[in-house]
Amino acid sequence: LLSPGNAVWHLRRGEARHSLREFDRAISDYSEAIRLRPGLSEAWRKRGLSHLFERRPDAAIADCTEAIRLHPKNAEAYHYRGLAWESQGRTDEAIADYGEVIRIEPGRVEGYVNRAGARLLAKDWAGAVADYEKALRIAPPDWPDRKALEQSLRTAREKVK
């Protein structure tokens, strides 16, 4: 039964608040879900995402790290933590986390796109080209960001020259 004393109730309300862009209120709900059920990795991951939207990358990294500890195959937690690392200019850590996303979900286009972006920031042009090429190979033909991805690949190829 979902009620205010139930961790899942707070998790779901946090999701609703996050979708309304009420990130601080979402964080409060996720925190309560964690207080009630500390092993609920989903609450840690989602609180990490809300911290990321609030431009608190250290808190996002800490929460996503805990989500990963609780559920090591949580590709989303690696994804969000990679974004947080990248926002701090810590490209090596971001690249490693995006690599974990790819290891866990090899068909996930965003894993390759995000790793390519981090590799560009690290001036690893050839690595970025390889990731963009792989992303284009596995992206569905109607993938909404295909044109932007093709442009990113052209830009990365120019850097290799």
Q: What is the mean pLDDT of residues 136-149?
A: 92
Predicted confidence at residue 76, as pLDDT, reads: 96
Check whether 1 has a pLDDT greater than 70.
no
Q: pTM score, two decimals?
A: 0.91
Q: What is the pLDDT of residues 80-136, one digit of tens each?
A: 999 999 999 999 999 999 999 999 999 999 999 999 999 999 999 999 999 999 999
Q: Which helix (H) or strand (E) holds 98?
A: helix 91-104
Residue 32 CB partners (closer than 8 Å, separation 6+) = 7, 10
pLDDT at 5: 82
CB 59 within 8 A of CB 50: no
> What are the C-alpha distances in Å from 161 to residues 53, 78, 93, 129, 154?
36, 32, 27, 11, 11
What is Dmax (Cα atoms) for the chain? 61
For residue 161, the model assigns a pLDDT of 76
Do residues 55 and 78 touch, judged by C-beta distance below 8 A? no
pLDDT band of residue 2 (cuts 50, 70, 90) is low
Token pair belonging to 69: 């500890």
Amino acid at 84: A
Distance CA 56, CA 76 (A): 18
pLDDT tens string 45-94: 999 999 999 999 999 999 999 999 999 999 999 999 999 999 999 999 99
pLDDT band (50, 70, 90) for residue 160:
confident
8-state DSSP, 6:
S
Length of the chain (residues): 161
DSSP one-letter code for 139: S
